Amino acid sequence: ADQMLVASHVRWALMVEEDQGDYPSLARMLSRLDHSTLDLVLIEGFKREPFPKIELHRTVLEKELIHPDDDSFIAIASDEPISPAPNLPQLDINNEQEILQFVLDYMKKQTLG
């Protein structure tokens, strides 16, 4: 099916089958949202897109850090302290409250200017 709709009395979702080439356009995907009802958009993926992001890092995965090559990162959340310490706030990836508070504080600063 090219389209699939799932619905209940409180929500609905439309899945659309569409060839978008190698990668979907973040700008195009964001344009599909009703911006009048949004306070915050959380995006997973699109690592190379220039928008404020928090790098998630788990030491056991032994992956290279991305933030040194991208100045759009606003923090790094990791399961262990990063050494040498990056010039970014370091958050505990297992502490949801800490990450939530950081995001709320960041949004507040952006709103107040």
From first to last of its 113 residues, the chain has per-residue pLDDT tens of 789 999 999 999 999 888 877 778 888 889 989 999 988 888 988 888 899 999 999 999 989 999 988 999 999 999 999 888 889 999 999 999 999 999 999 999 988 87
Architecture of domain 3-112: 3-Layer(aba) Sandwich (3.40)
Distance of CA 65 to the CA centre of its chain: 16
- How many angstroms separate the CA atoms of 56 and 77, rounded? 5
Please give the pLDDT value at position 22: 79
From the list 38, 41, 62, 37, the residue with the least C-alpha distance to 53 is 41
Q: What is the dihedral of CA 16, 42, 68, 48, to 10 degrees?
A: 20
From the list 68, 67, 73, the residue with the least C-alpha distance to 54 is 73
Please give the pLDDT value at position 89: 96
